[in-house]
Structure 1
Amino acid sequence: MSDQFSGRVGLIFAAIGAAVGTGNIWRFPRMVGANGGGTFLIPWLFFLFAWSIPLVIAEFALGKRSRTGTIGTFRIFAGKRFAWMGLWTAWISTAIGFYYAVVAGWTIKYFQLGITNGLTGPGVDTQQVWNEFLTSATDVIFYQFVVIAITLFAIWKGAKAIEKVNVILMISLFVLLFMSLGLSLWMDWSDGSLDGFLFMFTVDWEMLGEPSIWINGLSPSA
């Protein structure tokens, strides 16, 4: 097979890219805050190691062994009558891509606004900026199609292009995460309390008896 990743690093970044997304920036903090801080981390870590990581390993192992797509993989390992499950899996991934393209388009728009002082200039109302963007169908669709075009181009060029795109995007994501971490700690430290930091790592053991905590802990891994 000539179209494959150039090495282990590219494969690791592709795996991370498939499992980690913008939800780590805009959804995960909200889930932590709404579910008891450090209390939420316990079910989240449990399902991460008991569910998410084994599934990623299984997915790559099956793909390496079958050397084909989801439909062919289910046909090889489960028989022809279960090939529809591979089609269903492919459709779920496609459906997720529908709204991922929208959210990724938002990030490109805000990246553009960020580097042009569209969010921090004098007299800027960030809520108004957001409202104007959402009410402009042309802008929303344009940035969505930018994301779709980049994705389709990488897929069309093959595994090495997917690898390069993943490396660039995942490094960018990690840089943003560490910048956000530094900014958050500085803001928390500047008021002299570190309340946010302590809240994130303080466990309320009684809350662990609530089913909702475990369901919410599973949802990021589902």
Structure 2
Amino acid sequence: MRKIFLWILILGNVMVFAQDEASNIENTPKKNESFFSPTQATTNSYGAFKIGYVYQNLNSKSIPLKNGQNTYDFSSNNAYFGLERGYVGGPKSMIMAGGYLDAGAGDTYYLSAGASFGLRLLQGWVIPKISLGYELQHLSLPNDSSQYNIQSMVGTIGIFVNIAQSVGISLEARSGIPFSIVRSAQAKEYNHAKFNMYAIMISFAFYDFGI
């Protein structure tokens, strides 16, 4: 009887040990999932936050300035901030569609909002995207103390490259339809001048696919 009890005890310990080992194997991260791997989408929504730098050039080839010049060219260096929120889904959670809100502040300042579309390629290691939106921007002119605002529709193309766990570098370029002065009386004073704009944004981006 003692031998039977001893064998039952031994077999019971063996079974408990085997179950613990199986559990440890299941909970061990796969070898192909490293600390640097992008986080995978666990819901159908995502959010992103970006902070970095934006270089912008604003110019007009025909504008009657009060300093006697008839051309305008202004380059600015600014801090950049951006937010995104939207849907992620489709095959392998590749499709991203949502909205963005971003701003620049420094030598000048602007605010832009619109819709964006992107693709999570290589399981999120690379995300190319495009966006279309509206931009409102401050404008200062030489020998003129008045405050001006200009507006236009803008388009942006960009790419995000993952560094670790969906934190990485975002590089974007933006341009749009020529900007015009918002207030009609001010626009008339400068002969309804049009302004061309292009901007380059580089930022640290933080994506969350589990919202």
TM-score where L is the length of structure 2? 0.21
Report which of the two structures shows the higher radius of gyration computed on alpha carbons. Answer: 2
TM-score where L is the length of structure 1? 0.20
The structure with more strand, counted as a fraction of residues: 2
- Greater RCO (Cα-Cα under 8 Å, separation 6 or more): 1
